[in-house]
Structure 1
């Protein structure tokens, strides 16, 4: 496969009559062409060190290559010893696999000539992107098969569960925990489910490399699933979360603002994987609609969402059924009453805490509480009414959860 990539780079360089270099998403040199009329200092150092220096990388990234889907002209930088060049982002169905660099000649003042040549080698560039996709992970075909089997086990397939239990990475490594990694803002599947799955799969694989507690990972269209060895602390989980966010942004070519890891209760027998996976999904979904839960979310910390998740299907909570809640919602046109009431419930009735969070004076909070009492004819901070309203608020949130 590597030989095919190198030959294709040489072939494209020959058609363009220019020097090329090919790098992965981390700035590592994958291949380069031998022909080059003049190599600037940056290219020479890159070919020797096999890695893009941080100052050069910063200059290139400042021109938007990480999110670009079309060729990007990078101007010369004399301080770096760098001639102008064109960066061609290599993507397959929206999945970013690397960058092809075409350097301008010393006498060229603009990238116009390069940009005009690129359509002539578009087919070669597409083929190169496909080769990189296949070589992006070792034994990728074998890996994808194992991921499918792992996801089948997560969905409760008995035969798949037995197979996964015998894997070297899993056997005798329990108790385990299932973890769902979810992009809180970009979880919805795109136009190409296959590409979305590849993006999550690669992000999960790369973010768990070197993390001993992470035993296996698999990507789905809207999220990833990671099997962890049980641990009391969350240092390994936090490490994976940070790397997952970076890897997902790198491969999808878009900003990723909030990644959530939903963490199941520990389970000691492989047959508990399906239930643990469900718990991890619920934890991730709850944190997506309840930001106060944070980004590293244990299933047991999700409170009433455990009850809501177990009580029915997707449409079970589209209507809370609470008369008091409906009265408040109908009259709360400006969104002044329900948010205050929910924060009071979440903060054990502390008016001072709620006032601080909303940047309001305490008298404003008391005033809004008085309006709620007048509207409902009951005290919203007492007994059964408080329970009903709080549950109805969380049910409404739960109805807006990501469907993963």
Structure 2
């Protein structure tokens, strides 16, 4: 770990020197950001600072609105430098942006403030030379970091995998290396992203950027593994991570991914059950995968599913995706949904079942007279042919409504 910190400091110093040298040549402010437009290093300014630059220096990061604006210009897909137009309403001056690439990887963005949107050939040549050196330096740092993290990713995958023997071996190696303490509590979070038009590698960068701060929090220590369309975070600690902290974490992750990625990515997050010890982390992982499916299928969860709050949905979501279709809806319920006034009768049935068949509470929830409620319930029985006084018939209808909740297409309220 000490070697990693020392190496990072050396790399940071080298980048800073390159940026300062270029800025001095150009007499213009220069900044290097990562692929998510997050601040890495910056030169001193030359009376060309704008509010965006000042806030970035003070806060160590750009505002979400600025990040989204820059990414919307398609910079992650640029193969050559170009200008990013200024925006007075955002306090942003025009910038010349160079995508820093090495061996096909986008490592970051080098930006030079140019309020009038013009640079001389000599200036662009100097920028190109320095950009190449900056990209080479950043690639060397990334390669070293990847080598350090590869083993941790492999061990985390084994720790959460299906083989008990591999899990035990991984747990011992993680404990012996000091990477992950043998703490008394564990919880796994899974983040999934839908296929999107983002350039190769950008989703992985965004997932890492949104989650990396959670590998060490006030109450837990964690390990993170990131793939092309999903990430897995294991957190362990001497006490359970509270439900409130997990919720706050989840909302921050979703908000960050909404900033970093196109809207079509539609990220969702699943939180597994809280387990007593690293040995049972694999169980939390399996539960987190189910919770993420719930978040994808159930709009009311607002893209965050928690295993411990899924109830009976946790059982239904064990079914494979191809089995979750309209064929699972009981015929009496399908008949009700297709009947005249089916939406009103469905709402009535749902409320009646949610309130355990209590007439007073159902009528109050629906804000209708009890006489009207009795009339609707008689209609439901006539249409479905079922007896609402029968526990078995109620279970059929209630389970059918739960299945229907999993078939609703987000955004339009229709069955999938």
Shared topology, TM-score over 0.5? yes
Alignment partners' CA distance in 1, 2:264 and 2:232: 21
Judged with a 3 Å threshold, the aligned counterparts in structure 2 of structure 1 residues 60 and 172 are, in CA distance, closer, same or farther, namely closer
Indicate conservation of the 8 Å contact 1:264/1:283, yes or no: no
Alignment partners' CA distance in 1, 2:291 and 2:269: 9
After superposition, give the CA deviation of every residue in 1:53-73 in whole Å (9 maximum; x if it has no partner).
46x956982992354424532
Tell me which residue corresponds to 2:242: 233
Residue 69 of structure 2 is aligned to residue 64 of structure 1 = yes
Tell me which residue corresponds to 1:389: 397
Tell me which residue corresponds to 1:289: 297
Tell me which residue corresponds to 1:170: 180
Moved more, 122-131 or 165-174: 122-131
Alignment partners' CA distance in 2, 1:209 and 1:128: 29
Alignment partners' CA distance in 1, 2:389 and 2:124: 68
Alignment partners' CA distance in 1, 2:223 and 2:67: 35
Alignment partners' CA distance in 1, 2:328 and 2:24: 67
Secondary structure in structure 2 of the residue aligned to 1:391: helix
How far does residue 198 in structure 1 lie from its aligned partner after superposition?
3.6
Judged with a 3 Å threshold, the aligned counterparts in structure 2 of structure 1 residues 14 and 347 are, in CA distance, closer, same or farther, namely farther
Indicate conservation of the 8 Å contact 1:217/1:226, yes or no: yes
Question: In the TM superposition, what are the counterparts of 1:328-347 in structure 2 within 5 Å?
Answer: 328-331=336-339, 335-347=343-355
Judged with a 3 Å threshold, the aligned counterparts in structure 2 of structure 1 residues 352 and 23 are, in CA distance, closer, same or farther, namely farther
Tell me which residue corresponds to 1:224: 231
Tell me which residue corresponds to 1:245: 254
Residue 285 of structure 2 is aligned to residue 273 of structure 1 = no
Tell me which residue corresponds to 2:211: 204
Judged with a 3 Å threshold, the aligned counterparts in structure 2 of structure 1 residues 139 and 57 are, in CA distance, closer, same or farther, namely closer
Q: What's the TM-score once normalised by structure 2's chain length?
A: 0.68
How far does residue 282 in structure 1 lie from its aligned partner after superposition?
1.6
Judged with a 3 Å threshold, the aligned counterparts in structure 2 of structure 1 residues 194 and 18 are, in CA distance, closer, same or farther, namely closer
Question: In the TM superposition, what are the counterparts of 1:15-30 in structure 2 within 5 Å?
Answer: 19-24=29-34, 28-30=39-41
Moved more, 212-221 or 192-201: 192-201
Judged with a 3 Å threshold, the aligned counterparts in structure 2 of structure 1 residues 99 and 195 are, in CA distance, closer, same or farther, namely closer
CA RMSD of aligned residues (A): 5.0
Alignment partners' CA distance in 2, 1:343 and 1:216: 43
Alignment partners' CA distance in 1, 2:300 and 2:85: 43
After superposition, give the CA deviation of every residue in 1:311-348 in whole Å (9 maximum; x if it has no partner).
x4333333216221232344378744435433443344
User: Out of 366, 379, 384, which is 1:376 matched to?
Assistant: 384
Indicate conservation of the 8 Å contact 1:153/1:274, yes or no: yes
Residue 152 of structure 2 is aligned to residue 146 of structure 1 = yes
Tell me which residue corresponds to 2:324: 317
Secondary structure in structure 2 of the residue aligned to 1:216: strand
Secondary structure in structure 2 of the residue aligned to 1:212: coil
Secondary structure in structure 2 of the residue aligned to 1:277: helix
* Alignment gaps of 5+ in structure 1: none
Alignment partners' CA distance in 2, 1:398 and 1:240: 25
Alignment partners' CA distance in 2, 1:193 and 1:113: 30
Alignment partners' CA distance in 2, 1:29 and 1:175: 34
Indicate conservation of the 8 Å contact 2:295/2:303, yes or no: yes
Indicate conservation of the 8 Å contact 1:202/1:219, yes or no: no
How far does residue 388 in structure 1 lie from its aligned partner after superposition?
0.7
Tell me which residue corresponds to 2:111: 101
Judged with a 3 Å threshold, the aligned counterparts in structure 2 of structure 1 residues 249 and 133 are, in CA distance, closer, same or farther, namely farther
Judged with a 3 Å threshold, the aligned counterparts in structure 2 of structure 1 residues 205 and 232 are, in CA distance, closer, same or farther, namely closer
Alignment partners' CA distance in 1, 2:365 and 2:135: 49
Secondary structure in structure 2 of the residue aligned to 1:378: coil
* Alignment gaps of 5+ in structure 2: 1-10, 76-82, 411-416
Tell me which residue corresponds to 1:264: 273
Indicate conservation of the 8 Å contact 2:270/2:292, yes or no: yes
After superposition, give the CA deviation of every residue in 1:279-315 in whole Å (9 maximum; x if it has no partner).
12223323443455677754343221232244x4333
How many equivalent residue pairs? Answer: 381
